[in-house]
Chains A and B, each alone.
Chain A
Amino acid sequence: METSLNYTIWILILPFAAFVLNGLLSKRLPNQVASAISIISILIAAALSYYLAFVYFTDIGKAAETFMAIKAFDQTWLRFTESLQIKIGFLVDPISIMMLIVVTTVSSLVFIYSIGYMKGEKGYNRFFAFLSLFSFSMMGLVVATNLFQMYIFWELVGVSSFLLIGYYYDKPSAVSASKKAFIVTRFADLGFLLGILLLSYYGNSFDFLEISSDNGAAVSQMGGITFMGMSVLSWALLLVFTGGAGKSAMFPLHIWLPDAMEGPTPVSALIHAATMVVAGVYLVARMFTVYSFGAPDVLEIVAIIGAFSALFAAVIACTQFDIKRVLAFSTMSQIGYMMMALGVSGYAAEGLGFTASMFHLFTHAFFKALLFLGAGAIIHSVHTNDIREMGGLRKYLPISHITFLIACLAISGIPPFAGFFSKDEILAAAQMHGMIYFGVGYLVAGLTAFYMFRLYFMVFWNKNQPAESKVHESPSVMTIPLIILALGSIFAGFVPFGNLITTNGQVLETEFHVSLAAATVGIALVGIVVSYLFYAKPSDRPERIAKSLGGFYRTVYQKFYFDEIYLFITQRIIFGIFSAFIAWFDRNIVDGTINAIGWLTAWISSRIKGLQSGQVQQYAYVFLGGVLIIGLVFFYYWMR
């Protein structure tokens, strides 16, 4: 069985090779060749992934009614101690396959879409090189067999995200956005790393399967050791979650995500909507056994942060006017949903939240990628990000319009689109765990429908474009991916997730709650109707509402001033006080001491130098005096 999976290594190697090739030869290759290299490599990887999924779910995966985790290969890369080794491997289990499918599918479509979107841009080849690097890193992350491999690729996706956000590197806003994204996630990764180190120290392994084997027995001894009121295991898992929260833009580490929209839109679609930002969810899901058995308290925190982020982002999304920022906050909100679902989930039979979370991750990838690519098509056509300057575009961009509408319906949870099914499961899981989560989830569902249709109406309806407008539909290389993703958004909800992806690999019986579904659809419809009333036609109603909310509206519009708080802490306190103090201290105290020693020596020597007068007679005095003193001393002893 091991040998039959050897081909999986090509899933990793091909995009990497494309990156190396495009990266080294970016100056020499013609644009078509460069994009062809990247696209062909990712298409082959996608094909292999689909084949792997097919083989796994129908043939090799199942043993005794349970989906098993299989290591396709696991090669030692760096040896710390006998038991602690970084290995590079390929783990095949339901969630890794699900993620592989998502990553390769969205990547392929985004790659193809980019041919049109990036046409004529400077650094076209570089763009494809970075995209290939990202795909490689993301797949490496997904199939990681151990924590450290995940950390390695975790960092690599971080850096590819950095490179792609800063793609327009001569634009200062893009540069600072990329820096911000990297540094914030890096800060979160510090937590992840510490978590890994703690876990591995007590568990004596990095391997996911070993750590979570026997329901986390390997690390359960950590539960006994406590530090500041929480068991070390909880601390470790909380730290690991910090890493996930940073990558997934959970409150309060979310500040980088809206700014990350400075990157080209395909990048936002691929990285900051469909794949990389859900890595945090994936991480928690990957370690779910350990969380569930070792630290339910941390899971509670995960749920709280997820729920809060979902609400927080949804509220902000209602006030933004930049089309990509609205989508960014919507992403954050949806990921908060997934996190919450994980947090409220139990194990085995109570594992609905887990399944729902993965399900939502899956469906979300399709419709959110679709939303971003649609937004990209719109921006490509009208050359602005501001939805106040759009309006009435439905006539000019028919395909974008239809696909965007489908995505909006999907994210709002209108049946039979994909989002309905996954969202319904999440809400059911939340309801089982606690009403407060359900309440938040329910509210967010309504808000989501509202702000998505606010976006939809403002872009495609509202006022009309000026008659002489030259806005036209994008080329087919961009619209075809839209159509494919729209199909995905319609049908992804029918995948029987309960049968495939569960906490313990066994089939989870999911039931359909008619009343819950009705309620969800109801609130979504309310949201849609409200936004229709506000935004379908030009009106001053939104303005008036905003005015009446006053300070609260402004606070929300300014994203609760989080950027400013962070800026204050970093610029003023850390750079302004600590760094400046150290720079001063080093130059004046430490170096000053050294210089003072040097000065003192010079001073003493200048004093002593006076003895070296050059006056022979003075020397003679000293010499004779010295001789006499020695003589007298001898004499004294001789006399005794």
Chain B
Amino acid sequence: MDILTLHIVVPVLTLVGISLVKGQNMTRWTAAVGMGLQLLLSVYLVFSYLDAKGISPETEVFFTRSIVWFESLNIRYDIGVDGIAVAMIMLTSIVIFTGVFASWELKNMYKEFFIALILLSAGVFGFFISQDLFLMFLFFELAVIPMYLLIGIWGSGPKEYAAMKLTLMLMGGSALLLVGILLLYFGAGALTGTPTFNLHELAAVDFPMEIQRWIFPLTFIGFGVIGALFPFHTWSPDGHSSAPTAVSMLHAGVLMKLGGYGCLKVAIYLVPEAALEMGWIFLILTGISVMYGALGVIKQTDLKYINAYSSVSHCGLVLFAILMFNQTAMNGAVLQMVSHGLMTALFFALIGMLYSRTGTRLVHEMGGLMKTLPFLSVAYVLAGLASLGLPGLSGFVAEMTIFVGAFQNSDLFHRVFTIIAISSIVVTAVYILRVVGALLLGPIKKEKFMNLKDATWYEKLATVTLLLCIVGIGLAPLWLSDMIMNSLESIINQLTGL
């Protein structure tokens, strides 16, 4: 079996395993072992990708495989990865691995929880390895739907409302997306004779402008909804704040990245002319997202809301960078996806851990936690520093790549929006430091915080894994950046019409 299919098979086997074993301990260990295997597999994938790329630098997509699925509709099980997908797969397996440990102590219907969680991750893995739009859409839906259960059953607060809102909005987005995909499919059928879902075959089709003008907004908004594009982002604060820890991690860390990835690989790659023509509309929206999310954070008091809005800002930056239409900025976008995925997962994990100890998520009710919870607090500070773009941590690499790329567009319109986006780093610093100051520093606010217990081994494992990745990318970004950069060639070629 090829390595990519294994990425789906391992979670599925883990699911089977979980449903067979009994008891909480067995269940979580099965999940942990399965996802640990998945992590190793992804690491192996990274190395074999780098090897393969080293041998044939001209090839774009590796480990391809194409099995006919529905012959009459020309739907195929087309899989393969390029550097971007490899990076995203790596991110996903890290986040799901740590997510399992973040939900280690879950008591209520743990078996079903892990099943839904891992099913979701299987959907994400499938999404990233797909080279066929139909398959991609299928996995996309597979990733979105367990979310409803995960939030609706294991969430907190107004969970039914949040779950419903999130699911409906994402479904609305995917409905638009489906229309876009079908337009592509039948459009290709009308133009070349054989309708196809294959990404690369579609890329070769020269769609007339009238169709492109429909496809681009449909697909971009369709993916943009899950990428928290203003004004379709409101599912994010409610959803994240109601979701259980691991789900928030996976959702903000990985699922929101499906949006950016899809915008890049579908909306822009397949209909480049319309993208170039209509990009400015969405650039305004993303520019608003970035600043709006950042300013919106300042007034929030719930840690999860804070992180959700900051995710809106950071994910806005991803789409913003994609719309800059140059290799550097797009590289930055992918780096930002990876970096934001890691740090937001870390944030949500830490918030969950703090919540389980203090019983509150409101910033002003906490204070001085650095004294009693040094490990978690230091991790939180580091996550915060990564989020505000401190050099040596992953956020800096991503943001700087985006900014340098964005600056390559020299007209006034792009300049103004670039400067707005760059200004957000100051606002980010403001809100991060406010939170850190209120939460961790200062005198201890409540008597009961005096004897809190610091992280347990599984919490440490989750935190350290994420931190290592953040620091690792922050200190040595070149390999990742080059890996992504090389995979952007074909998209750039599409845009420049080569």
Contact = CB atoms under 8 A, between A and B. Distances in A.
A344 interface: no
Nearest to A201: B407
Contact of B371 (A81, A170, A591, A593): A170
A159 B390 contact: yes
B360 interface: no
B429 A182 contact: yes
Contacts of B444: 170
B300 A166 contact: no
A155 B396 contact: yes
Contacts of B230: 590
Contact of B441 (A78, A169, A194, A580): A169
Given A582-B299, A591-B234, A201 B429 contact: no
B426 A186 contact: yes
B407 to A, nearest CB: 4
Contact of A77 (B327, B385, B477): B477
Contact of A194 (B299, B397, B419): B419
A627 interface: no
B403 A193 contact: yes
B441 A166 contact: yes
B165 interface: yes
Contact of A190 (B300, B390, B423, B481): B423
A176 interface: yes
A505 to B, nearest CB: 30
Interface of A is mostly: helix
Interface stretch (B27-35, B124-132, B253-261, B430-438): B430-438
For A84, A152, A197, A595, which residue has the most chain B Cβ atoms within 10 angstroms?
A197
Given A86-B400, A175-B442, A594 B295 contact: no
Contact of A175 (B405, B408, B429, B441): B441
Interface in B354-389: 368, 370-371, 385, 388-389
A193 B237 CA distance: 31
Interface residues of B, number: 59
B410 interface: yes
A575 interface: yes
Given A172-B443, A598-B168, A580 B299 contact: yes
Interface string B306-331: 00000000000000000000011001
B482 interface: yes
Interface string A176-195: 10010011001100100110
B372 to A, nearest CB: 11
A79 B425 contact: no
A358 to B, nearest CB: 26
B36 interface: no
B441 A170 contact: yes
Given A80-B404, A197-B403, A152 B391 contact: yes
A149 to B, nearest CB: 9
A573 B213 CA distance: 41
B390 to A, nearest CB: 6
B401 interface: yes
A200 B404 contact: yes
A84 B407 CA distance: 12
Contacts of A194: 419, 422
A567 B242 CA distance: 34
Contact of B478 (A77, A201, A582, A591): A77
Contact of B165 (A162, A171, A579, A594): A594
A575 B299 contact: yes
A63 B477 CA distance: 37
B422 A193 contact: yes
A173 B347 CA distance: 26
Contact of A586 (B234, B429, B485): B234
Interface of B is mostly: helix
Contact of A152 (B237, B396, B437): B396
B271 interface: no
B211 to A, nearest CB: 28
B296 interface: yes
B407 A197 contact: yes
Contacts of B449: none
A33 interface: no
A79 B478 contact: yes
A476 to B, nearest CB: 33
Given A86-B400, A159-B390, A190-B422, A81 B437 contact: no
A216 to B, nearest CB: 20
Contact of A583 (B234, B235, B296, B425): B296
Nearest to B409: A201
B169 A594 contact: yes
A79 B295 contact: no
Contacts of A282: none
Interface in A549-583: 570, 574-575, 578-580, 582-583
Contacts of B422: 190, 193-194, 197
B434 A179 contact: yes
Given A579-B296, A594-B234, A76 B478 contact: yes
Contact of A579 (B299, B331, B419): B299
Nearest to A591: B234
Contacts of B370: 169-170
A266 B234 CA distance: 48
A194 B391 CA distance: 16
Contact of A156 (B390, B437, B481): B390
B469 interface: no
B292 interface: yes
Contact of A590 (B234, B391, B429): B234
Contacts of A155: 389-391, 396
B208 interface: no
Contacts of B405: 80
B231 interface: yes
Interface in B206-236: 230-231, 233-235
Contacts of A159: 385, 390
Contact of B408 (A86, A201, A586): A201
Interface in B243-302: 292, 295-300
B395 to A, nearest CB: 11
Nearest to B419: A194
Nearest to A151: B391
Contacts of B368: 170
Nearest to A190: B426
B437 A175 contact: yes
B331 to A, nearest CB: 8
A9 B297 CA distance: 41
Contacts of B235: 594
Contacts of A575: 298-299
B481 A79 contact: yes
Contacts of B442: 169-172, 175
Given A80-B328, A155-B391, A598-B168, A186 B429 contact: yes
B17 interface: no
B430 A183 contact: yes
B392 interface: yes
Contacts of B407: 197-198, 200-201
A297 B247 CA distance: 56
Contacts of B400: 78, 80, 86, 148
Contacts of A586: 234, 237, 292, 296
A179 B433 contact: yes
Interface in A39-90: 76-81, 84, 86
Nearest to B438: A175
A153 interface: yes
10 contacts: A156-B391, A169-B442, A170-B368, A171-B442, A175-B441, A201-B407, A574-B298, A575-B299, A579-B299, A586-B292
Given A78-B397, A172-B442, 14 more contacts: A79-B481, A79-B485, A86-B400, A155-B389, A169-B370, A170-B368, A170-B442, A176-B437, A183-B430, A579-B297, A580-B299, A582-B295, A590-B233, A594-B169
10 A-B pairs closest in CB distance: A152-B391, A583-B299, A579-B298, A591-B234, A169-B441, A175-B441, A197-B407, A186-B429, A179-B433, A80-B404
